[in-house]
A and B are shown apart, each in its own frame.
Chain A
Amino acid sequence: MSGNPRSLQTDYFEHDADVGVIGRGASLEEALVAAAQATFAIMADLEAVRPLERVYVMFDENDPEFALVRWLNELLAEARAQGIVLSRFRLSRRDGRWRGEAEGEPWRSDLARGTEVKGATLTMLSVKAIPGGWEARCVVDV
């Protein structure tokens, strides 16, 4: 299962009203993990979020681009429903079945707030192989 190794890179790209997130990693799974980091870093300083609670997600998706959107939306929905913020992510894939887990903690008053991300969209959606690994990107709605 791909976790948070040093090979992960996060970045952002421009969108008029919202935010474009980019995740890069040595594998497809790592790229999606990095995209999750980029997404949750809009909401909080991930270094300050303690791994006190864990959520699990599982979904079936053969299309890597739809898988990115599913992965981010599963995490965002689960985090919102449980009132927690996530900071550490792991993801694995066998055929078209994806299993992920994430750790974080309930929002607390001394945790600096960023901007709420409500969901991942199909806008500027791209998941592709790049030299040395994979890159996943899409616009997230804030």
Chain B
Amino acid sequence: MKLDVLEALSPYCWSPVPTPGEPAPAVRLFGDESLLAAMDDKVLEQITNVSRLPGLVGCALTMPDAHWGYGFPIGGVAAFDPEAGGIISAGGVGFDISCGIRCLRTNLTLEGTAPHLEALANQLFRDVPAGVGEEGEIRLSPSQLDEVMLEGARWAVAHGYGQKGDLEFVEERGTMAGARPRNVSDRAKKRQRGEMGTLGSGNHYLEVQVVDRILDPAAAGAFGLHEGQIIVSIHCGSRGLGHQIGTDYLITLAKAAAKLGLRLPDRELACAPIESPEGEQYLGAMNAAINIALANRQILTQLTREAFARVLSEARLETLFDVSHNTCKREQHEVDGQARLLYVHRKGATRAFGPGHPEIPEPYRVVGQPVIIGGSMGTGSYVLAGTAASERIAFSSASHGAGRAMSRNAALKHWNGRELIDSLRARGILIRTRSMRGAAEEAPGAYKDVDLVAEVTEKAGLARRVAFLRPKVCVKG
């Protein structure tokens, strides 16, 4: 992106230079010069389109890890007021509804675990279905699938996949209200056959990590983190069901928008007023998919615990937090001094409530919500904490990952999967995958500098860094 089309409001917050004769777009881009310069022009085009949707409150925002997506940019945030004709958009949520990260802390240290990492990598790869074509062992009847869509992670815990204590540390306490399984197509339900408890493919992963550096000792203490500790992060979403809902409702919402005379600059921005039959139908289906994602990560948590127990019987894995980054959620935010109920789209962006927010689990409330910026398999990830400033400037949102810097096609031309895995092994990172193509596509060099993304996220005021996690084992989808 050429920086001359932007105006710096601060070194870490930018707005587009208005076109003469046109109103300035209600857009803010968070990032520093280098991150913004590396972004595709499409990011600005897409977020400008988002800013023109009905009922937008404040500005449409991009996070420091933003990149070009479908309709909305990935790393895009936009809040809409239903009482002002605000819309809900399937493109603003993304296809992998409620994709997110479950982070588990352990009672293990790298020193004690290092001799067992090879065995642990093999066990996790055996026990956690990962990659295209891999299915889970859970088979649900139609009525059971409806139960999962209504109850989310609570269903999983009630059926032996996890511990009650997990739920306190999952967004929405494990169950997203407002799910409507009847709004989900038969095809979407059929696609979920065999997909409960699977990691998926693409950028999804299960990583065993070590806490490499503590950057905020007080918050790290509240989160139960210390240097040398083994952590597990699981990145995946609502699998085939969520994607089919996105596909189904893209068409439904496109037709609704046309019927209502909404002129969409991009077909992927298909949307309907929140308070319309089509909007409410999508919302009910999307909430059902959120519950599928929460249940899926809960099941994967239990599979991970069992794999650890087979290798290291003393291992105890507790949920640190589970946070989604592809959602639209009804939240109360203060706008111009007034509390308003808004529908906040976060597509490739993490909710980041600041200290004191009632939605934050009590043990963390004083320091802020845990935020996880997942990096590539060769670099690392960050745990951060939400800030009060993020509420003022970004509807309590922050970055979700390193963000791609290079397309998958380009990555395939640069790296060979086998060679990449061998080179990571030489650096002490064990990769397990069924896909050499997938490994090459996910090469660390194809991602932005996660250190810079996390640093800029902090400097922009969106969240503050708590700990850096270095990968030791990565099961790739």
In the complex, chain A residues 3-61 whose Cβ is within 8 Å of any chain B Cβ: 12-20, 42-44
A114-B437, A115-B408, A121-B268 known; A81 and B191 CB under 8 Å?
Answer: yes
CA distance A13 to B410 in the complex (A): 10
A15-B407, A17-B68, A142-B201 known; A80 and B240 CB under 8 Å?
Answer: yes
CB distance from A117 to the nearest CB of B (A): 8
Please tell me if the beta carbons of A142 and B408 are within 8 angstroms of each other in the complex: yes
Q: What does the 1/0 interface line of A71-87 toward B look like (CB < 8 Å)? A: 00100010011010100
Please tell me if the beta carbons of B435 and A119 are within 8 angstroms of each other in the complex: no
CA distance A57 to B135 in the complex (A): 23
Please tell me if the beta carbons of A16 and B404 are within 8 angstroms of each other in the complex: yes
CB distance from A43 to the nearest CB of B (A): 5
Please tell me if the beta carbons of B437 and A73 are within 8 angstroms of each other in the complex: no
Is B459 close to A, CB under 8 A? no
CA distance A73 to B187 in the complex (A): 11
Q: What does the 1/0 interface line of B60-79 toward A look like (CB < 8 Å)? A: 00000001111100100000
A12-B409, A113-B131 known; A141 and B267 CB under 8 Å?
Answer: no
Please tell me if the beta carbons of A115 and B200 are within 8 angstroms of each other in the complex: no
CA distance A94 to B46 in the complex (A): 37
How many B residues are at the interface, by size bracket? 35 or more
Other-chain residue from B132, B267, B270 in contact with A115 (beta carbon distance below 8 A):
B132
Please tell me if the beta carbons of A121 and B70 are within 8 angstroms of each other in the complex: yes
Is A118 close to B, CB under 8 A? yes
Please tell me if the beta carbons of B70 and A139 are within 8 angstroms of each other in the complex: yes
CB distance from A63 to the nearest CB of B (A): 11
Which residues of B have CB within 8 Å of A42? 437
Is A62 close to B, CB under 8 A? no
Which residues of A have CB within 8 Å of B370? none
CA distance A15 to B407 in the complex (A): 6
Which residues of B have CB within 8 Å of A111? 133
Please tell me if the beta carbons of B408 and A83 are within 8 angstroms of each other in the complex: no
A16-B40, A17-B74, A123-B70 known; A83 and B436 CB under 8 Å?
Answer: no
Residue of B nearest to A107 (CB): B133
CB distance from B268 to the nearest CB of A (A): 5
Stretch at the interface among B152-160, B211-219, B243-251, B450-458: B243-251
CA distance A121 to B95 in the complex (A): 9
Please tell me if the beta carbons of B133 and A85 are within 8 angstroms of each other in the complex: yes
CB distance from A98 to the nearest CB of B (A): 15
Which residues of B have CB within 8 Å of A17? 67-69, 74, 404, 407-408
Please tell me if the beta carbons of B190 and A81 are within 8 angstroms of each other in the complex: yes
Is B202 close to A, CB under 8 A? yes
Is B329 close to A, CB under 8 A? no
Please tell me if the beta carbons of A18 and B190 are within 8 angstroms of each other in the complex: no
A-B pairs, 6 with minimum CB distance: A107-B133, A116-B201, A116-B132, A16-B68, A113-B435, A113-B434
Known pairs A15-B407, A118-B202, A142-B202; list 17 more (Cβ under 8 Å): A13-B409, A16-B404, A16-B407, A17-B404, A19-B409, A20-B409, A80-B195, A81-B240, A85-B133, A113-B132, A113-B435, A114-B437, A115-B201, A115-B202, A115-B441, A119-B95, A123-B268
